[in-house]
Amino acid sequence: MTLDSLVAPLRADVVSGASVVARTASEVVRRAASRISADSPDEFRATMSDLLVRILDAQPAMAPLVALARDVLLALDDAADVDGAREAAAGAASAFREFMDWCGSSIAERTSELIPPGEPVLTLSSSATVRRSLEDLAGRGGLTVYCLEARPMSEGRRLAQQVAAAGASVVFAVDAAGEALLDETRHLVLGADSLGDRGVVNKIGSAALARGARDRGIPVHVLLDRSKFLPPSFPQPTDDPRPGEEVWRPPPGVQVWNRYFEAFPHDHVTNFVTESGVLIPEAADELRRDLPVPEALRQWAERWSR
């Protein structure tokens, strides 16, 4: 087992949202906890810290990986021996996954209280949290969902299929139709990969939709659990170039620009729907202020901020 081999599937996952990737990462940590070779708690902590940093580098835009790393690192602080360190790391990873599972159902319940039956919804990409909420809304009947394709990997197709299977009437369209489809909808529902100083980071295309919805007076609901909250001054990397061939195999002289994520400001958001309540942007920002930052995370953040 090498650390790179454990992390490789995370980087390779180019269609899942942050919650799904975080669940995969928690399983990577849980398995690694029993396999890492270490003769002392300090050696175990060092190797686990190395693994967590590699996990962060695999998907730097996804804040739940930061939350997972924070929980595991804090759990290791009190480990007195290697066995205790293994148990602490595995326990923190398992608890994190259980928390994520609970958040999905709680956020879906709160979303159903915000969106009246029969009011059409527009969404982009394939957030697991958004999918769960739309499936619950579909179960109440009369839901129309406008799904954009989410180029270049077109994960919006999967969301469209899943929500249709749950009973919604689904209209699927290319990303460029988003502005026009805002005139057909009553709510914009988006997931998030992080919430930080730059605002919300989500799939590219989200910023224009959020701005257009705000200008039309359409509520913008961003669905996210607390694992998406980043401490103040923590980086929100979006300059993570992906292979141009995902978009097009161009002829000589043509360069393809391909990035997955972008940020848009807090003031484009009407509600942050979290597992513990519906928050206005100012309240969500207040909750970020006291998040702890272990040393390994601080060093990683400084590297990205240079």
Reported as a single tens digit per residue, the pLDDT across 221-271 is 999 999 999 999 999 999 888 999 999 999 999 999 999 999 999 999 999
Q: Is it the case that residue 16 has pLDDT exceeding 90?
A: no
C-alpha–C-alpha distance, residues 201 and 197, integer Å: 10
Q: What is the pLDDT of residues 34-91, one digit of tens each?
A: 999 999 999 999 999 999 999 999 999 899 999 999 999 999 998 999 999 999 999 9
Instruction: Note the pLDDT of residue 91.
Output: 97
Instruction: Quickly list H helices, the chain.
Output: 3-12, 18-35, 41-58, 63-76, 82-114, 128-139, 156-165, 178-181, 206-216, 281-288, 295-305
